[in-house]
Chains A and B, each alone.
Chain A
Amino acid sequence: MALKIVKGSIDRMFDKNLQDLVRGIRNHKEDEAKYISTCIDEIKQELKQDNIAVKANAVCKLTYLQMLGYDVSWAAFNIVEVMSSSKFTYKRIGYLAASQCFHESTDVIMLTTNQIRKDLSSPNQYDTGVALTGLSCFVTPDLARDLANDIMTLMSHTKPYIRKKAVLIMYKVFLKYPESLRPAFPRLKEKLEDPDPGVQSAAVNVICELARRNPKNYLSLAPLFFKLMTSSTNNWVLIKIIKLVSCFCVVKYLGLLAMSKILKTHPKSVQSHKDLILQCLDDKDESIRLRALDLLYGMVSKKNLMEIVKKLMLHVDKAEGTTYRDELLTKIIDICSQSNYQYITNFEWYISILVELTRLEGTRHGHLIASQMLDVAIRVKAIRIFAVAQMATLLDNAHLLTGNMQRNGICEVLYAAAWICGEFSEHLENPMQTLEAMLRPKVATLPGHIQAVYVQNAAKLFSTVLKSQEGSTEGTAAQETSQLMIDRLPLFVQSANLEVQERASCILQLVKYIQKLQQKEVEVAEEVSALFAGELNPVAPKAQKKVPVPEGLDLDAWINEPPSESESEDEQPKAIFAKEEPKHSRSRHTEVDEKELARRREARKQEQANNPFYIKASPSSQKVYQESPGVEHIPVVQIDLTVPLKVPGLPMSDQYLKLEEERRQKERADKKKKEKKKRKEKRSGRGRRHDSGPESEEDITPAHMVDIVTEEMPEMCLTLNHKVCDIQGNLQDGSQVVVSVIFENKCDSLLKSMEFNVLDSLNSKLQRPEGSGPHDGFTVPFQLPPGVSNEARLVFTVQSIVMPQKMKGTLTFIVKNEDSSIHEKLDFKLHFTCTSYLITTPCYSDAFAKLLESGDLKCSSVRLEEVNMPFHHLLARICFHHHFSVVERIDSCASMYSRSIQGHHVCLLVKTSGQTVSIDAKCDEPTLLGNVLDEIKQTFSQC
């Protein structure tokens, strides 16, 4: 038995390991198939042995061969054997092989169930780990059924390493054995909140996969995912969740939400998605529609306002559900009226929009429309004629609006309509008709405050009508109008609403008086219209500030000294005038004093408000302002109004849109012409820049060469007594090597008649002058005075350059002193290193890659220990001493290249970690490569 073991082990020592196999395959490019078939035979032999190490090695090799496309299914049972090994090393290889080779129809899988179960419950977490990893690749329905429980237990393992693997493999189990999903799901859900981020992300992955197949079943998890989404910092997980949430249709909402945030800082980038956002208005989810509306508010510009509002109006028509419709309505008004009607270029269009909006039934926002109508009519003078005409139509058709009076908020617009028609009645085309419309009995069903406005404005209209009728020839018409008033007003006098009653009776008495005068044929129109004379001007909200304080009025002075005690300590100080007009504050007041005073004043106001016996004063000071400087000085808000076009016929907002588009197209056409010119100019400018482009690039390029050291030849020194000869190897193409020898005279005498001779070898020969024999020397064509150096060039013919060479030589010369001359001899050796056959040749990285890929280079490597220098010094040294150039350098890794005089490519891959440098090299001449590497090694061993 022992002998058997020994035999097995010895065999093993001579076995190929994986590295040998790989290397072998790479070395047998021509007869790969044949080589591999012998390898497979060897592997078969190895598998027959009892030694598990040998088997594992064989299985490892098989796995490699399997990848190359060879059938290894015959070894399935051996794989199971290796999987069953108690040693992790072999088990790991076994499971790897199984995961690569097994599939559902591999019959030996049945045999693995118990082994896997055993490994799953192993005390060593890495045993469990490899089992889970392997199982994930080849799990079958049978295995899933048999092992589901074991894996489920592992989901609650104490080690996160096991938990995450168990969670992930559950997905595979679910796929193969769907019945396991129900019992396992609660535990899986728990894992979403696992403290370990790895387990958490695994759970997210699995649930995302499940949910993708059937999103509806996982909707209940949406809040949990939302929580993860807001709390997780793991981008990998976030991407998964967002992908999942998009199955739940929430992502649109989030997109819009994000856009609204972006809008604040980068409005332009959002504006380009206008159409997309408008599409969201069609979404069936109301919250998405509302979000989109919010966005639109910030997106409008003068250009797109009409278009956007048109789209919104379409939605108003389609909208179901009053809440959303009301929201649309307020948004339309908000959008249009924002920043003081900044984006409205055509107010006629806007009035038409408002009028169209009155057709909405059951809206709560009638007052909003009304206030807009009033605001625009008052502030935009140019629009009044148009507005009045529209309002008159509204009043005429009031019955259409007020289908159901009590619930219908839209009747509020009648308030505005009546007021506008009354106030600006001079613009009415047919005031009589409007007057009649306002005095219809049905008006009495309107809310009180509207009736009051009706009555008051009927009076205004009455005065206008009188004026026109009195001017005409028929005097009776005016009397008839008065009669109409007298007939209709009593209805309002009976109104339950006090204000209506009061106004109606007042006006009724007035009209009766007028009628009396009319009967006496007195012209009353002038006097009646005097009642309502004067124009109403819009006042800016901040106009008050601009009214100068009359001289002698000190707003901060107390009229009565304040009471000494102050009760409500926690009252917020609220300075009304002090802040606005700080220059009027008296100098003796300090900051604190002012605050204190303001606080006290507030307290006093509170007190007064609570005191029933205190008669509140009318703001007398304001009256003073109005009287003294005059109304003209009050600043008026001007609205920039650009050419509102009068549209014939019934004004519809759409028509404006068309007109606007036409106008813009025209503008655009004009602009284009201008732009074309500009572009032409630009283009020519750009052309010039292009020309200069390459120049500047060239300027930059030197920066890339930082790491490359300029080439220089190594030196070989020879010393003899006081004289030194430098021999510098210089190389030329082909088989010729030029050696430049520097002669330096270091003694005090003249050197002359120098003769240089070397002993030729088979490989290398000195090229001698024509006509001289093979053993003649080369006469150096100069003399050397003391301290002078000179150079001579010698040409050698070299056959093979793969090996370094040494050549022996002698230099004979005469040393000439003042009185004597001595013949001397100097022996030397010329050392031709392999490096000296290399020529620094630059190489581009892609050419380099091509070279490496070509596959006809042999590789070799060397390790340098304890190299204590920065990486770039190291590279510089290789470049300098060994004639390489750096192709590419990435961090601590660099590729280098050089070329021999005979065209051999030498490629290096230099890596460093700590003090160890590894050099992987490739060359098409292995001997040369080996020698070059030795020389490199030597260079670094010397330093």
Chain B
Amino acid sequence: MMRFMLLFSRQGKLRLQKWYTATAERDKKKMVRDLMQIVLARKPKMCSFLEWRDLKIVYKRYASLYFCCAVEEQDNELITLEVIHRFVELLDKYFGSVCELDIIFNFEKAYFILDEFLMGGEIQDTSKKSVLKAIEQSDLLQEEDESPRSVLEEMGLA
């Protein structure tokens, strides 16, 4: 099971964090800081897997963003790498050639996508199609919520 997933930039700015086990804020901060330090110090040709505390860290850099997952000891690193890649593919499909800024400005969307792909640290659906469909449908629902009301209605004047 995946314990958590982090997205951070080359400069060590956290862009996304998802914790699949409830963790106290203080511990989270420390773990994120430690891990970022370790991963950012690694050279490009170094292995994407490393052991850290009792976890296995799998990370991959896409442009300026690091995608970093912590999985348990018995988990398969390669499938985790695939998970990362699949997530990137999903982001890419959704945002259309995704870049770091997309994730910064639409960070809640990135979370929604991640939540449709992984749940509780397990892969929820391996099909890109069905994940994107679920997001699309939810977005549609959201627009329905918002669109029928005109500005005037919104202001309580209609």
* Minimum-distance CB pairs A-B, first 5: A893-B97, A136-B120, A5-B156, A103-B22, A198-B125
Contact of B119 among A22, A168, A239 (CB under 8 A): A168
Q: Which residue of A lies closest to B130 (CB)?
A: A198
Question: How far does the Cβ of A360 sit from chain B's closest Cβ, in whole Å?
Answer: 43
Q: Can you name 30 A-B residue pairings with CB atoms under 8 Å?
A: A9-B155, A9-B156, A18-B107, A63-B107, A63-B108, A64-B107, A69-B14, A69-B29, A73-B25, A88-B142, A89-B141, A92-B142, A96-B115, A100-B19, A124-B141, A126-B134, A129-B116, A130-B138, A132-B119, A137-B18, A161-B134, A168-B122, A172-B120, A198-B127, A201-B126, A234-B126, A239-B76, A243-B74, A243-B76, A853-B9
Question: How far does the Cβ of B69 sit from chain A's closest Cβ, in whole Å?
Answer: 15
Task: Please list the residues of chain A having a beta carbon within 8 angstroms of any beta carbon in chain B.
Answer: 2, 5-6, 9-10, 18-19, 22-23, 60, 63-64, 67-69, 71, 73, 87-89, 92-93, 96, 99-100, 102-105, 124, 126, 129-130, 132-133, 136-138, 140, 161, 164-165, 168-169, 171-172, 197-198, 201-202, 205-206, 209, 212, 234, 236-237, 239-240, 243, 849, 852-853, 855, 859, 890-893, 909, 911, 913, 920
Cβ B11 vs Cβ A855 within 8 A: yes
Cβ A168 vs Cβ B74 within 8 A: no
Cβ A92 vs Cβ B138 within 8 A: yes
Q: Which residue of A lies closest to B73 (CB)?
A: A212
Cβ A168 vs Cβ B82 within 8 A: no
Task: State A849–B51 Cα separation when bound (angstroms).
Answer: 29
Question: B112 an interface residue at 8 Å Cβ cutoff?
Answer: yes
Known A92-B112, A102-B22, A133-B115; contact A209-B14, beta-carbon cutoff 8 A: no
Q: Which residue of A lies closest to B125 (CB)?
A: A198
Known A198-B130, A205-B122, A236-B123; contact A853-B64, beta-carbon cutoff 8 A: yes
Task: State A197–B126 Cα separation when bound (angstroms).
Answer: 9
Q: Which residue of B lies closest to A87 (CB)?
A: B145
Question: B124 an interface residue at 8 Å Cβ cutoff?
Answer: yes
Give the number of residue pairs across the A-B interface with Cβ within 8 Å. Answer: 153
Cβ B64 vs Cβ A197 within 8 A: no
Contact of B126 among A10, A165, A172, A236 (CB under 8 A): A236
Question: With a CB–CB cut-off of 8 A, which chain B residues contact A64?
Answer: 107
Question: With a CB–CB cut-off of 8 A, which chain A residues contact B156?
Answer: 2, 5-6, 9
Cβ B155 vs Cβ A6 within 8 A: yes
Task: State A64–B107 Cα separation when bound (angstroms).
Answer: 8
Cβ B120 vs Cβ A171 within 8 A: yes
Cβ A22 vs Cβ B104 within 8 A: yes
Contact of A164 among B96, B105, B125 (CB under 8 A): B125
Cβ B108 vs Cβ A60 within 8 A: yes
Cβ A849 vs Cβ B63 within 8 A: yes
Cβ B155 vs Cβ A88 within 8 A: no
Cβ B99 vs Cβ A137 within 8 A: no
Give the size of the chain B interface in residues (CB under 8 angstroms). 55
Task: Please list the residues of chain B having a beta carbon within 8 angstroms of any beta carbon in chain A.
Answer: 1, 9-11, 14-20, 22-25, 29, 63-64, 74, 76, 78-79, 82, 96-97, 99, 101, 104-105, 107-108, 111-112, 115-116, 119-120, 122-127, 130, 134, 137-138, 141-142, 145-146, 154-157
Question: With a CB–CB cut-off of 8 A, which chain A residues contact B116?
Answer: 129, 133
Task: State A136–B14 Cα separation when bound (angstroms).
Answer: 22
Question: How far does the Cβ of A720 sit from chain B's closest Cβ, in whole Å?
Answer: 48
Question: How far does the Cβ of A580 sit from chain B's closest Cβ, in whole Å?
Answer: 57
Contact of A891 among B20, B97, B99 (CB under 8 A): B97
Question: With a CB–CB cut-off of 8 A, which chain A residues contact B104?
Answer: 22
Known A64-B107, A853-B11; contact A88-B141, beta-carbon cutoff 8 A: yes
Question: How far does the Cβ of A137 sit from chain B's closest Cβ, in whole Å?
Answer: 7
Task: State A209–B76 Cα separation when bound (angstroms).
Answer: 12
Cβ B22 vs Cβ A197 within 8 A: no
Cβ B120 vs Cβ A920 within 8 A: no
Question: How far does the Cβ of A120 sit from chain B's closest Cβ, in whole Å?
Answer: 14
Task: State A202–B137 Cα separation when bound (angstroms).
Answer: 21
Question: How far does the Cβ of B86 sit from chain A's closest Cβ, in whole Å?
Answer: 9
Task: State A278–B155 Cα separation when bound (angstroms).
Answer: 81
Question: How far does the Cβ of A615 sit from chain B's closest Cβ, in whole Å?
Answer: 75
Task: State A132–B116 Cα separation when bound (angstroms).
Answer: 11
Cβ A126 vs Cβ B126 within 8 A: no
Known A71-B25, A102-B22, A236-B79; contact A201-B125, beta-carbon cutoff 8 A: yes
Cβ A88 vs Cβ B145 within 8 A: yes
Question: With a CB–CB cut-off of 8 A, which chain A residues contact B155?
Answer: 5-6, 9-10
